[in-house]
Chain A
């Protein structure tokens, strides 16, 4: 079955420190991978995506993600965290199977908390 796993329910980081939010995936065929962020009582905002090419993808607000095919991972990173980065982060993979083909399969989300 195609799926996305975010192994950490919560990540705590001090402001100014680097952050990593982990994501692993399982999908048939080429993986198309996405990261979204959700602030309280808001919809999802697109951060970045990997389709093909360079394994390091740069996105909005200084975020980047590294695609690792051998480890089936797509971890989100930022060199220096801000308090305003505190939010819920979702990893998603494009479904490649069946009636929902082409749409997104989301992980359960990781809550990022950045302390001053």
Chain B
């Protein structure tokens, strides 16, 4: 069974640029959530994708957007990068059923370290 994978591992961008991060969910998992973990902080929820549609969003501006593909993999796109976007971006997958009660465990990938200069 393959776990959650993310690419790239590290990324350096300059302020104002755009970035795309990628995530492949664990086998059998149809839901992907993205989190931002700033240095010294706990992860903060960005958004979740289920059945290729955004299914919940945290307190992040619209320049954070995403996609989910038919194979359940996902992308996180960030436009107009700011210095404060520098963080570890974590993807998590879970085996949500149609009647999810929110009890499913989220399994995390290793993350992408984004540095904005």
The smallest beta-carbon distance between B22 and chain A, in angstroms, is 14
Given that A90-B43, A95-B45 are known contacts, is A103 also in contact with B33, CB under 8 Å in the complex?
yes
Question: With the chains together, A106 CA to B4 CA distance in Å?
Answer: 20
Segment with Cβ contacts to A, from B12-20, B71-79, B98-106 = B98-106
Cross-chain contact A99 with B56 (CB below 8 angstroms): yes
The smallest beta-carbon distance between B96 and chain A, in angstroms, is 8
How many A-B residue pairs lie within 8 Å, measured between CB atoms?
A: 68
Question: With the chains together, A44 CA to B92 CA distance in Å?
Answer: 9
Residue among B42, B48, B106 with max Cβ neighbours from chain A (10 Å): B42
Given that A51-B103, A104-B45, A108-B41 are known contacts, is A99 also in contact with B108, CB under 8 Å in the complex?
no
The smallest beta-carbon distance between A31 and chain B, in angstroms, is 11
Given that A90-B42, A108-B41 are known contacts, is A102 also in contact with B102, CB under 8 Å in the complex?
yes
What's the interface size class on A, roughly? 20 to 34
Cross-chain contact B45 with A103 (CB below 8 angstroms): yes
Question: With the chains together, A93 CA to B44 CA distance in Å?
Answer: 12
Q: Which of B44, B58, B108 contacts A44 (CB 8 A)?
A: B108
Cross-chain contact A100 with B57 (CB below 8 angstroms): yes
Which chain A positions have C-beta within 8 A of B108? 36, 43-46
Question: With the chains together, A42 CA to B90 CA distance in Å?
Answer: 10
Cross-chain contact A101 with B56 (CB below 8 angstroms): yes
- Against A, the Cβ 8 Å flags (1 = close, 0 = not) of B80-114 are 00000000001010000000101101111111000
Residue among A43, A44, A45, A106 with max Cβ neighbours from chain B (10 Å): A43
Which chain B positions have C-beta within 8 A of A96? 102
Cross-chain contact A105 with B105 (CB below 8 angstroms): no
Find the A residue at minimum CB distance from B42. A106
Q: A104-B33, A104-B106 are in contact. List 6 more A-B contacts (CB 8 A).
A: A34-B105, A100-B59, A103-B33, A103-B48, A104-B35, A105-B45
B contact set with A: CB distance below 8 Å: 4, 6, 33, 35, 40-45, 48, 56-59, 90, 92, 100, 102-103, 105-111
A contact set with B: CB distance below 8 Å: 4, 32, 34, 36, 42-46, 49, 51, 90, 92, 94-96, 99-109
